[in-house]
Amino acid sequence: MTEIKKRNINPLALILGISAALFAFFLIFSFVYFFMKGGSDSWKEADSKNGFNEKREYVAIIELKGVILESKKVLRNLKDAEEDKEVKAVVLRLNSPGGAVAPSQEIYEAVKKYEKPLVISMGSVAASGAFYVAAGAKKVFANAGTLTGSIGVIMEFINLKKLYEWAKVERFSVKTGKFKDSGADYRELAPEEREYFQTLVLDTLDQFKSAVAAGRKLTAEEVTAVADGRVFTGVQAKKLKLVDEIGTLQDAVEFAAKEAKIKGKVRTVYPTKKAKGLQDLLLGGSLEDEETFEEEHSFIDRIVSRLADRITGMKQNGAEVLPAGLYSIWNGAR
């Protein structure tokens, strides 16, 4: 009787075989998904139904949400909409408490110089830097309960001197001028430093007020009367000539379509991210358009930062710590 020897399977070979099969499946799936799909369009139609051979004319809705720390994404979307022949008008939807001054000014300038009809629609909050942006538009819609205004500028500093003393950490600086370490967190501001920072804030406020006066066609006196940091409801803002109309996002879309002479049903589109190719995926390309970088901190900085977080309760309460700089922001929304 012939003995049949059972063949032992090497576990390592089995694992390698399964891995190779899974990798082959991944490559095939990726090829089908990324190449056959052909990538997504730059604009996503809200109502995808479109008649055969019907002329396509859209109102693009671009959103500006959250604290304004950079302008690149909004400026890119505005440019794409301006260059797209099927997009006839734009509604810029604001839902922001404001933010850094410079990016707010960049978006304001783009709105002011926009060649296609552009209408502002304010959501829950369009204050400070977001209102700065709105001042560049020829037509501004706000809801009755929108919080807007907050014309003003703020710089915030934190004094951790006593915390450093408690942690037995001594910090000092070697500087080239008396103002080079102004705003340092390891000591109090000197009177002359407070005066220096106040001049920066007031100069930036003058820029803000000039933009509002020019955009809203108000006198300097009218702007100064409301440029004390207060927020207003949409109804109050209309009485103060800070907005043009009380209306919804749809009202703003319909007005923009009318300005662009779009006939028939008004169709809207939103910006979408283009799908990345298989080459980007395999070579390590990110699926996200934006990249973020974090500043490297020393060990002592990290320890003190964590102690400050615990004492102030910032992390636990979800408060946002902004980078140093000039801000046009309504702190009530943070």
Task: Per residue of the chain (334 residues), give pLDDT as tens.
Answer: 445 455 566 666 667 777 777 777 776 766 555 544 444 446 666 654 444 345 688 999 999 999 999 999 999 999 999 999 999 999 999 999 999 999 999 999 999 999 999 999 999 999 999 999 999 999 999 999 999 999 999 988 888 999 988 999 888 889 898 888 888 888 898 999 999 999 999 999 999 999 999 999 999 999 999 999 999 999 999 999 999 999 999 999 999 999 999 988 899 999 876 655 544 544 444 444 543 333 444 555 555 555 555 554 544 444 455 665 666 766 665 5
- Give the predicted TM-score (pTM) of the model: 0.74
Q: Residue 3's Cα: distance from chain center in Å? A: 75
Residue 264: per-residue pLDDT: 85
Residue 23: per-residue pLDDT: 76
Residue 94: per-residue pLDDT: 97
Asked whether residue 14 is domain-assigned, the answer is no
Task: Indicate left, alpha or beta for 100 from its phi (over 0: left) and psi (-120 to 50: alpha).
Answer: beta
Asked whether residue 67 is domain-assigned, the answer is yes
Question: Two tokens at 328?
Answer: 């046009």
Kindly report the number of other CB atoms within 10 A of residue 280's CB atom: 13
d(CA 331, CA 129): 12
CB distance 60 to 271 below 8 Å: yes
d(CA 223, CA 216): 9
d(CA 314, CA 202): 28
Which residues are tagged catalytic? 128, 180
Q: Residue 125's Cα: distance from chain center in Å? A: 14
Residue 292: per-residue pLDDT: 31
d(CA 319, CA 263): 47
Residue 296: per-residue pLDDT: 44
CB distance 88 to 59 below 8 Å: yes
Domain count, the chain: 1
Q: At residue 140, what is the residue type?
A: V
**59: enclosing H helix or E strand:** strand 58-65
Residues in Cβ contact with 199 at an 8 Å cutoff, skipping those fewer than 6 apart: none
For tokens 């304004």, the residue is: 68
Asked whether residue 194 is domain-assigned, the answer is yes
Residue 19: per-residue pLDDT: 76
Pick from 34, 37, 65, 51: nearest CA to 270 = 65
Asked whether residue 147 is domain-assigned, the answer is yes
| CATH number, domain containing residue 325 | 3.90.226.10
Residue 290: per-residue pLDDT: 42
Residues in Cβ contact with 11 at an 8 Å cutoff, skipping those fewer than 6 apart: none
Question: Two tokens at 202?
Answer: 């007031």
d(CA 240, CA 238): 5
Residue 301: per-residue pLDDT: 56
Residue 291: per-residue pLDDT: 36
Q: How far lies 217's CA from each of 106, 111, 132, 210, 213, in Å?
A: 20, 16, 14, 10, 5
Q: How far lies 224's CA from each of 78, 299, 331, in Å?
A: 31, 47, 20
d(CA 146, CA 152): 18
d(CA 127, CA 260): 28
Residues in Cβ contact with 222 at an 8 Å cutoff, skipping those fewer than 6 apart: 213, 240, 241
d(CA 75, CA 215): 19
Asked whether residue 107 is domain-assigned, the answer is yes
Per the structure, the complete domain to which residue 228 belongs is given by 44-278+298-333
Asked whether residue 16 is domain-assigned, the answer is no
Kindly report the number of other CB atoms within 10 A of residue 13's CB atom: 9
Start-end of H helices in the chain: 11-31, 37, 72-83, 101-112, 129-134, 161-166, 191-216, 220-226, 234-239, 249-259, 278-282, 299-312, 314-317
